[in-house]
C-alpha cells in the first residue's frame, strides 16, 4: 500500500469548508465516535465565530515584574537560596562544560540513594516536580493556590550515546525504498536523513528528543502521555498536557509527509510567481483559475478534463480565484490528485511524483502513529484537558502541524481542546498562523495556538548550511521578535472578534509578556475571559509567572516529572539554558538576591507561604 492512499484521507478534511471532517481514515480503524456538529459560523470574514461576551468593565489589574515580594510569595527562603545556588552553579562555565562527566562520577561515588537526595536538594528540586503523578500533586496544588496552573510533562528521556542516537535516526528515517535503491535520490535534501545531524539533541537545550526504537516503545510513550492526561484532568479543571509527535511513531512518515506538504505549497507559490504575484503574504495570494488551468495543462501535469474537474467544487473557484487554502484542499479524494499528480522539482526542473510508496510495514507504522494520536486526543476531550502538541524540527514540522490541525478540526468543535505550536523564529511563521486562523474561520472550529520563538535554532541553521538548502530561521533575533509580535497581534485581533480563538504566550521574555499585556489592554481583552494564556517552565522566571497569576491572568508552568535517573538529560538542558551569560538568568539572580535581602532586613526570613 502507498502513502498516496493515506495522505489524501488525512488531507481530505480541508475540502468541506463548514462541516466536520474525519481526522483520518486510518484512525477509523480504532472505534470512533462521530464528533458533534460544529457550531455553524457566519460568513468567512475577519473574526468570524460567536462574538465575545461583553468584556469585564473593570480594567485588568497592573502586573509588576520587579515586585519580588509578589513574585516569590509562594516560595520559602530556603527555596530561594536553592534557586540562587543553582543559578550560581550554572554561571560556572568550566563546571557546566564538564557537567555530564561530573554527574556520572557523582553517581558512582555517592551511590544511587545519596545522589538522588543531592539532586532533589538542588537541580531536581528546582526544575522537576517529583517522581510520579502522586508525588507532584502537592506542588501542583501549591502553585494553583498562588494562581499558577500546570502543564504536565513526563520528562523521562533515554540517555543514549551520540553514536546510538545517530544509528537509530538513520534507521528510522530511511524508507525501505531508499534502502533498496528504488526510491533513492528522489527525496529533497532537507527531507533526507543526514548522519551528521542524526543526533537531534545536538545544540538543543529547550526541548526533549525522542528516538524511534520500535512500535512497542511508541505504545509505551502513548501510555505515559495517557497517564499524564489523566493526572492533569484530576489535578485541576482547566489544565493542559504536552505531547510530542516524534514519540508516537516512526519519524520516516513525518519526513515524507512534510516533504509532500512543502512541495505542494511551493508549487502554489511557483504558479503565483508566473501570475505576477511574487512576494505577497500567503493569504493575499490568489491564483486566477483560468490561467492556472492553462499553466497546469501546458506543464503536462495531468489531462485537461481532470484539471477542469479540480475547480468545480462547491465553493472552490466561485470567485474565479484559488487561494492557498483552496489549493491545499486539492490533495483530496474527490480529485484523485494523489493518483495522478506530478510536480516540478525546483532543483532539477523535472516532473516528479508527489507521493512515493510505502511498504506494508511502513504503512502499518503510519496507521499506528495516527491511531495513537487519535487515542490521546479522545482521552484529552473526555477528561477535559487541553492537549498541546509541541513543535519540532522543520523537516518534521509541516507534518506535525498538519496532523495537529486535523485533530483540531475533529476535536475543537466546541472549545479549543487541541493547541498547535507556532515557532516564530521561522521565516514563514506568520503565513502559517494567518492561514490556520483563516481555515478555522472558514470551517467553523476553534483555533488554539501556543506561540514560541523556537528551540532548535543552532541545529537548524547548521543543518541548512551544511546540507545546502535555505536557512528556515529569521536572520536576526530582532526579526524573530518582530515575527513573534506580528503573529501574536494577528491572533489577539482574532480573539477580539471571536470567542473561538485562544493563544498561549509561551515565553520567558519579559518584554514579550509586557507587549501582550499592553495589546490585551488596547484590544479590551480581559484576563477573566481566559483566552490569552501564559506559559513558562517550572523553576524558571517565577518573577513573570507568579505576578501574572496573582493579577488573575491564566498562567501555567510546564511541570516536568519522572525518576531522578531518567530526567538527568532534562536537567542537563536546564543547566545549559540557565548558564550565567543568559540575560534572563542574570535578571533572576538579581531579583532573588533582592528578595532574600528584603526578607532578612524585614525579619521575615522564616516566612511560610500561605495562599
Ligand atoms: C511553555 C513553553 C513551551 C515551549 N514549547 C516549545 C515547542 O513546542 N517547540 C519549540 O521549538 N520550543 C518550545 N519552547 C522553547 C522556546 O521556543 C524557546 O526556545 C525558549 O522559550 C526561549 O525563548 P523565549 O521567548 O523564552 O526567550 P528569548 O531569550 O527572548 O528568545 C530566545 C529565542 O530567540 C530566538 N533567537 C535567538 N537568537 C536568534 C537569532 N540570532 N536569530 C533568530 N532567532 C533568534 C531563538 O528561538 C531562541 O530560542 C517552549 C518554551 C516554553 C516556555
Element containing residue 351 per DSSP (H, E): strand 351-353
Altogether, the residues listed in the chain come to a count of 611
Residue with the nearest Cα to atom 45 of ligand 1?
A: 477
Alpha-carbon gap, residue 545 to 537, rounded angstroms: 9
DSSP one-letter string for 172-221: HTS-HHHHTSTTTTTS-GGGS--GGG--TTTT--SS-------HHHHHHH
Distance between alpha carbon 290 and the CA centroid of its chain, in Å? 38
The partner residues of 537 in beta bridges, in order of sequence, read 558
pLDDT score recorded for residue 43: 40
- Residue 558: CB within 6 Å of ligand 1? yes
Element containing residue 459 per DSSP (H, E): helix 457-467
- Residue 390: CB within 6 Å of ligand 1? yes
* C-alpha closest to that of 484 among 513, 458, 522: 513
Task: Among 506, 509, 583, say which to mutate for ligand 1: greatest number of ligand atoms within 8 Å of CB.
Answer: 506
pLDDT score recorded for residue 157: 75
- Compute the distance from residue 457 Cα to the ligand 1 centre, in Å: 9
Per the domain annotation, does 441 fall within a domain? yes
* C-alpha closest to that of 551 among 522, 515, 585, 517: 517
Residue with the nearest Cα to atom 29 of ligand 1?
A: 509
246, 298, 550, 557 from 506: Cα distances, Å:
21, 47, 18, 9
Alpha-carbon gap, residue 142 to 70, rounded angstroms: 15
Residue entry with cell 537509530: 168
pLDDT score recorded for residue 130: 93
Q: Residue 547 carries which DSSP code?
A: H
Task: Calculate the CA dihedral of residues 515, 518, 521, 524 and round it to 10 degrees.
Answer: -40
Asked whether 149 and 308 are in contact (CB, 8 A), the reply is: no
- Compute the distance from residue 388 Cα to the ligand 1 centre, in Å: 16
28, 148, 348, 476 from 371: Cα distances, Å:
8, 33, 37, 39
Enter the C-alpha cell of residue 436. Answer: 490556520
Per the domain annotation, does 369 fall within a domain? yes
pLDDT score recorded for residue 154: 81
Contacts of 479 (CB under 8 A, 6+ apart): none
Determine the Cα angle at 505 with ends 499 and 510, to 5°: 135
Least confident of 91-105, 112-126, 175-189, 520-534: 175-189
Contacts of 297 (CB under 8 A, 6+ apart): 304, 307
pLDDT score recorded for residue 555: 97
pLDDT score recorded for residue 358: 66
Mean of pLDDT values over 160-189: 80
- Compute the distance from residue 480 Cα to the ligand 1 centre, in Å: 9
Least confident of 190-194, 234-238, 303-307, 521-525: 303-307
Residue with the nearest Cα to atom 36 of ligand 1?
A: 477
User: Average model confidence (pLDDT) for the chain?
Assistant: 83
Per the domain annotation, does 351 fall within a domain? no
Contacts of 118 (CB under 8 A, 6+ apart): 106, 110
Enter the C-alpha cell of residue 502. Answer: 485562544
Alpha-carbon gap, residue 598 to 601, rounded angstroms: 5
271, 283, 463, 580 from 295: Cα distances, Å:
8, 21, 34, 57
- Residue 393: CB within 6 Å of ligand 1? no
pLDDT score recorded for residue 340: 45
Contacts of 144 (CB under 8 A, 6+ apart): 150, 235, 236
Instruction: Give the chain's domain count.
Output: 1
pLDDT in tens, 26-79: 333 333 333 344 444 334 445 556 666 666 667 777 899 999 999 999 999 999
Residue with the nearest Cα to atom 53 of ligand 1?
A: 536
Asked whether 424 and 394 are in contact (CB, 8 A), the reply is: no
Contacts of 348 (CB under 8 A, 6+ apart): none
Asked whether 377 and 418 are in contact (CB, 8 A), the reply is: yes
Alpha-carbon gap, residue 478 to 49, rounded angstroms: 34
**What confidence category does residue 574 fall into, taking pLDDT thresholds of 50, 70 and 90?**
confident
- Compute the distance from residue 265 Cα to the ligand 1 centre, in Å: 26
Alpha-carbon gap, residue 597 to 537, rounded angstroms: 25
Q: Which phi and psi angles does 145 have, rounded to 5°?
A: -65, -25
Per the domain annotation, does 202 fall within a domain? no
Alpha-carbon gap, residue 386 to 232, rounded angstroms: 9
Q: Specify the ligand 1 atom closest to the Cα of 504.
A: 1
Per the domain annotation, does 98 fall within a domain? yes
- Residue 457: CB within 6 Å of ligand 1? yes
pLDDT in tens, 325-365: 877 776 654 444 444 455 556 566 565 655 556 677 877 88
Mean of pLDDT values over 478-505: 96
Per the domain annotation, does 85 fall within a domain? yes
Distance between alpha carbon 296 and the CA centroid of its chain, in Å? 35
What's this model's pTM, rounded to 2 decimal places?
Answer: 0.87
- Residue 90: CB within 6 Å of ligand 1? no
- Compute the distance from residue 423 Cα to the ligand 1 centre, in Å: 8
Least confident of 38-42, 167-171, 414-418, 563-567: 38-42
Dihedral (CA of 604, 538, 236, 408) sign: positive
- Compute the distance from residue 424 Cα to the ligand 1 centre, in Å: 8
- Residue 504: CB within 6 Å of ligand 1? no
- Residue 480: CB within 6 Å of ligand 1? yes
What domain range is 104 assigned to?
Answer: 68-183+210-251+361-601
- Compute the distance from residue 71 Cα to the ligand 1 centre, in Å: 22
CATH code of the domain in which 571 resides: 3.20.20.220
Residue with the nearest Cα to atom 16 of ligand 1?
A: 454
Residue with the nearest Cα to atom 17 of ligand 1?
A: 454
Element containing residue 320 per DSSP (H, E): none
- Residue 206: CB within 6 Å of ligand 1? yes
Dihedral (CA of 345, 329, 484, 487) sign: positive
Q: Where are the alpha helices (DSSP H) in 237-342?
A: 251-274, 289-298, 304-310, 324-329, 337-340
Contacts of 37 (CB under 8 A, 6+ apart): 19, 20, 413
Q: Specify the ligand 1 atom closest to the Cα of 508.
A: 26
pLDDT in tens, 382-421: 999 999 999 999 999 999 999 999 899 999 999 999 999 9
- Compute the distance from residue 508 Cα to the ligand 1 centre, in Å: 8
**What confidence category does residue 21 fall into, taking pLDDT thresholds of 50, 70 and 90?**
very low
Q: Residue 396 carries which DSSP code?
A: T
pLDDT score recorded for residue 565: 87
pLDDT score recorded for residue 23: 36
Residue 356 vs residue 119, higher pLDDT: 119
Alpha-carbon gap, residue 400 to 366, rounded angstroms: 13
Residue 422 vs residue 37, higher pLDDT: 422
Per the domain annotation, does 485 fall within a domain? yes
Determine the Cα angle at 418 with ends 372 and 396, to 5°: 60
Least confident of 90-104, 415-429, 555-569, 574-588: 574-588
pLDDT score recorded for residue 42: 38
pLDDT score recorded for residue 1: 41
- Residue 425: CB within 6 Å of ligand 1? yes
Alpha-carbon gap, residue 420 to 403, rounded angstroms: 10
Task: Among 127, 241, 455, 510, say which to mutate for ligand 1: greatest number of ligand atoms within 8 Å of CB.
Answer: 455
Mean of pLDDT values over 478-498: 97
- Residue 506: CB within 6 Å of ligand 1? yes
Amino acid at each position: 500500500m502507498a502513502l498516496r492512499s493515506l495522505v489524501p484521507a488525512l488531507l481530505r478534511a480541508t475540502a468541506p469548508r463548514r462541516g466536520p471532517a474525519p481526522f483520518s481514515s486510518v484512525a477509523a480503524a480504532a472505534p470512533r465516535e462521530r464528533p458533534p456538529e460544529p457550531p455553524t459560523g457566519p460568513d468567512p470574514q475577519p473574526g468570524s465565530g460567536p462574538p465575545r461576551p461583553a468584556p469585564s468593565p473593570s480594567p485588568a489589574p497592573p502586573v509588576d515584574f520587579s515586585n519580588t515580594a509578589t513574585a516569590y510569595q509562594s516560595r520559602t527562603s530556603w527555596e530561594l537560596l536553592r534557586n540562587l545556588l543553582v543559578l550560581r552553579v550554572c554561571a560556572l562555565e568550566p563546571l557546566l562544560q564538564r557537567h555530564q562527566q561530573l554527574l556520572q562520577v557523582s553517581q558512582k561515588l555517592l551511590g544511587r540513594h545519596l545522589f538522588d537526595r543531592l539532586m532533589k536538594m538542588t537541580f531536581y528540586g528546582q526544575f522537576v516536580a517529583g517522581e510520579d503523578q502522586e508525588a507532584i500533586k502537592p506542588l501542583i496544588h501549591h502553585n494553583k493556590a498562588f494562581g499558577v496552573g500546570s502543564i504536565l510533562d513526563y520528562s523521562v528521556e533515554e540517555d543514549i550515546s551520540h553514536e546510538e542516537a545517530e544509528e537509530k535516526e538513520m534507521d528510522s528515517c530511511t524508507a525501505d525504498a531508499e534502502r533498496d535503491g528504488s526510491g533513492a535520490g528522489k527525496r529533497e535534501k532537507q527531507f533526507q536523513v543526514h548522519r551528521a545531524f542524526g543526533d537531534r539533541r545536538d545544540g538543543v537545550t529547550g526541548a526533549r528528543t525522542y528516538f524511534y526504537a520500535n512500535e512497542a516503545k511508541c505504545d509505551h510513550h502513548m501510555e505515559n502521555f495517557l497517564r499524564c492526561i489523566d493526572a492533569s484532568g484530576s489535578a485541576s479543571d482547566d489544565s493542559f498536557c504536552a505531547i510530542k509527535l516524534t514519540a508516537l511513531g516512526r519519524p520516516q512518515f513525518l519526513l515524507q509527509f512534510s516533504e509532500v506538504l512543502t512541495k505542494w505549497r511551493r508549487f502554489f507559490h511557483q504558479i503565483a510567481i508566473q501570475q505576477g504575484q511574487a512576494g505577497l503574504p500567503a493569504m493575499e495570494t490568489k491564483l486566477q483559475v483560468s490561467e492556472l488551468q492553462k499553466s497546469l495543462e501546458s506543464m503536462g501535469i495531468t489531462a485537461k478534463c481532470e484539471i477542469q474537474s479540480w475547480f468545480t467544487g462547491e465553493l472552490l473557484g466561485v470567485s474565479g480565484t484559488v487561494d492557498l487554502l483552496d489549493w491545499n484542499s486539492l490533495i483530496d479524494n474527490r480529485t484523485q490528485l494523489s493518483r495522478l499528480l506530478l510536480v516540478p522539482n525546483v532543483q532539477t526542473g523535472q516532473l516528479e511524483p508527489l507521493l512515493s510508496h510505502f511498504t506494508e510495514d511502513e504503512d502499518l507504522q503510519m496507521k499506528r502513529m495516527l491511531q495513537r494520536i487519535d487515542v490521546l486526543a479522545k482521552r484529552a476531550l473526555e477528561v477535559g484537558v487541553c492537549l498541546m502538541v509541541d513543535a519540532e524540527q522543520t523537516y518534521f514540522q509541516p507534518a506535525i502541524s498538519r496532523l495537529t490541525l486535523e485533530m483540531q478540526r475533529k476535536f475543537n468543535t466546541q472549545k479549543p481542546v487541541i493547541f498547535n505550536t507556532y515557532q516564530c523564529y521561522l521565516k514563514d511563521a506568520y503565513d502559517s498562523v494567518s492561514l490556520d486562523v483563516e481555515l478555522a474561520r472558514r470551517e467553523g472550529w476553534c483555533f488554539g495556538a501556543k506561540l514560541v520563538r523556537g528551540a532548535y535554532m543552532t541545529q537548524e541553521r547548521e543543518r541548512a548550511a551544511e546540507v545546502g538548502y535555505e536557512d528556515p530561521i529569521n536572520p536576526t533575533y530582532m526579526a524573530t521578535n518582530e515575527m513573534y509580535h506580528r503573529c501574536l497581534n494577528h491572533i489577539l485581533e482574532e480573539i477580539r472578534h471571536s470567542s473561538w480563538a485562544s493563544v498561549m504566550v509561551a515565553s520567558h521574555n519579559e518584554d514579550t509578556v509586557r507587549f501582550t499585556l499592553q495589546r490585551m489592554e488596547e484590544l479590551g481583552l480581559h484576563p477573566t475571559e481566559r483566552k490569552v494564556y501564559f506559559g513558562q517552565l517550572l523553576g524558571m522566571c517565577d518573577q513573570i509567572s507568579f505576578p501574572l497569576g496573582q493579577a488573575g491572568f491564566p498562567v501555567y508552568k510546564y511541570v516536568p516529572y519522572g525518576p531522578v535517573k531518567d530526567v538527568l538529560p532534562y536537567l542537563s538542558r536546564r543547566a545549559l539554558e540557565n548558564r550565567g551569560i543568559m540575560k534572563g538568568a542574570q535578571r533572576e539572580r538579581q531579583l532573588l538576591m533582592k528578595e532574600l535581602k528584603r526578607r532578612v532586613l524585614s525579619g521575615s526570613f522564616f516566612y511560610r507561604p500561605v495562599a
